[in-house]
Structure 1
Amino acid sequence: MELALKTEKLIERSIIRICLILFVNLVCFSGLSQESVTEKEYLDLIDYLTNQLLIDSTDIFSLENRGLAYMNIGNFDAAIKDYHFLVQLDSTNNKYYGLLGLSYSYLLDHPRAVKYYSQAISYNPFYVDHYINRGVSYEMLNKYELAKMDYLKSIKIEETNQKALINLAYLYHDYLDNNDESITVWNRLLKIDPFNASYYNDRGLIFLDENKIDHSLQDFLRAIQLDPRKAAHYYNCARAYEKLGEVESALMYYEKAIDADSVDSNIYFYRSKLYEKMGDSINAKIDLKKVIELEERYE
């Protein structure tokens, strides 16, 4: 009897821990939980909550948490059923519409996702993540101006929201062909977080596209200083040196990139191009062979 009670208490503690993680996800639901919860724990939680719902099918706590648990194991269809039922129970709750939108986004049904994000916004026009998530769906639908409007709306509500700013910076560069605006947004992000290596790296890539090589090199070197473990910072630095015609420096930074991450196929791809320019067909072929080998291994 004591063992049974002890086991029950352990199960309850585990359920409470997972529910707390899911609660954070429910409040900030632009993505799934990154906490270390195993699939088995989620399945145990689903079983527990399903039993609770057999007692009371309208138990909002159980429905919310089961829906999130389903999402975290990739069962979005089941999550959608729970959220639709929650909408029937509370038809003006913006978070349920937002979670419906997110579930449909993960199923790549972006037209429906937009529909539910829009309903979420109608009930809470000041919740930033609804605009960000709808913006992402608009991007997936190639509606880039609408995506831009949503990111700008979210930034108007929360000026320092880095998710919205990052999405906007990429949107300007990747789809709207506006590198100047993209750089302006990266500048803004670096004012918010001046020690973020990825921001320097991403801004450096745009400077590289614009052939502002000195600016790009400065950003890549700063990224390396802030995060010396990331291979991309080194091979982007190598690419900048390559554009400056400083071949030895470029080769040195490709080697540093390999030291940081020897299985990043981008390093060997970019270096093979440099070897081709140098007329070194043997090393170019060796690197291209490495690219194929790595992509086959990790595809």
Structure 2
Amino acid sequence: MDKNQTGIEYMKEGNWEAAAKVFMEAIEENPDDTVAYINFGNVLTAVGETEKAMNFYDKAISLDSSAVSAYYSKGSLFYEMERFAEAKDMFEQAAKKGMESGDNYFMLGMCLVQLDQGRLAIPYLQRSTELLKTDAEAFFQYGLCLAKEQYIDEAIIQLEHSVSLDSSHADAFYNLGVAYGFKEEAAKALDMFNRALEIEPGHLLAGHGKKLIEESIG
């Protein structure tokens, strides 16, 4: 097992110190090993050393401008820092350089959502669901984005798929309740709000939605 793989195993165990040591050894043995720089950056990210992590991702990109994982890792770090425009640029670079990843499309879509560009986010979130066929969160965020852009029927399809993958997704049930309420299908809306509250009794929005529906039907 090479040092990068050994380090990744340490990361899976949460042994960041051992992982960092192995990745640094890999860099010392091969200063042009872009993977080791990216992996070391990921360790630094995990322990909150964000500025140092950026330096390692930048080093990997300087060695290989097509190191797509470095762009993705930088994008993820920018997203966590709520620097969404810079995150979007990184995920776009990763896609342009050939990263055909559901996670990358998902994050690119989420950046656009955060930048209030929901209509532009739709195709990326759609693509993420095509690649992440069992990811309830991907379908949820795609459905949520569709709903915000007033594509209510399409949103319901995606949110229904989300809860079929994860029957404990209270927010998906809540948003289904909102969507059915928008379509004036009170019985379905009430059912969805009740489902959300069964999962999460303290779900304030679902409780409020249920109260409004009950008042509307007398």
Amino acid in the other structure paired with 1:231: H
- Contact 2:102-2:132 within 8 A present in 1 as well: no
Question: Over aligned residues, Cα RMSD in angstroms?
Answer: 2.9
**Aligned counterpart, 2:45:** 105
What is the deviation of 1:256? 4.4
Q: Cα deviations across residues 135-193 of structure 1 (Å, max 9, x unaligned)?
A: 1112233332222121111111226321211110111102x111011112123335556
The unaligned stretches of length 5 or more in structure 2 are none
How many aligned positions are there? 214
Q: Percent identity?
A: 19
2:118 paired residue among 179, 185, 200: 179
TM-score, with length taken from structure 2 = 0.81
2:158 paired residue among 219, 229, 236: 219
**Aligned counterpart, 1:128:** 68
Q: Assess, with a 3 A threshold, how the Cα gap between structure 1 residues 265 and 162 changes in structure 2: closer, same or farther.
A: farther
Q: Distance in 2 between matches of 1:109 and 1:91?
A: 21
Amino acid in the other structure paired with 2:78: Y
Secondary structure, counterpart of 2:86 in structure 1: helix
Greater alpha carbon shift after TM alignment, 136-145 vs 146-155: 136-145
Q: Which has the larger radius of gyration?
A: 1
Q: Distance in 2 between matches of 1:116 and 1:243?
A: 48
Alignment of 1:16-95 (within 5 A): 61=2, 63-95=3-35
**Aligned counterpart, 2:212:** 277
- Contact 1:101-1:116 within 8 A present in 2 as well: yes
Secondary structure, counterpart of 1:160 in structure 2: coil
The unaligned stretches of length 5 or more in structure 1 are 1-18, 20-60, 281-299
Q: Distance in 2 between matches of 1:158 and 1:120?
A: 16
Q: Cα deviations across residues 276-298 of structure 1 (Å, max 9, x unaligned)?
A: 43577xxxxxxxxxxxxxxxxxx
Amino acid in the other structure paired with 2:86: L
Higher relative contact order (CA 8 A, sep 6+): 2
Q: Assess, with a 3 A threshold, how the Cα gap between structure 1 residues 194 and 80 changes in structure 2: closer, same or farther.
A: closer
TM-score, with length taken from structure 1 = 0.62
What is the deviation of 1:230? 4.8
- Contact 2:101-2:131 within 8 A present in 1 as well: no
2:173 paired residue among 218, 234, 242: 234
What is the deviation of 1:203? 1.8
Q: Assess, with a 3 A threshold, how the Cα gap between structure 1 residues 190 and 71 changes in structure 2: closer, same or farther.
A: closer
Q: Distance in 1 between matches of 2:7 and 2:125?
A: 36
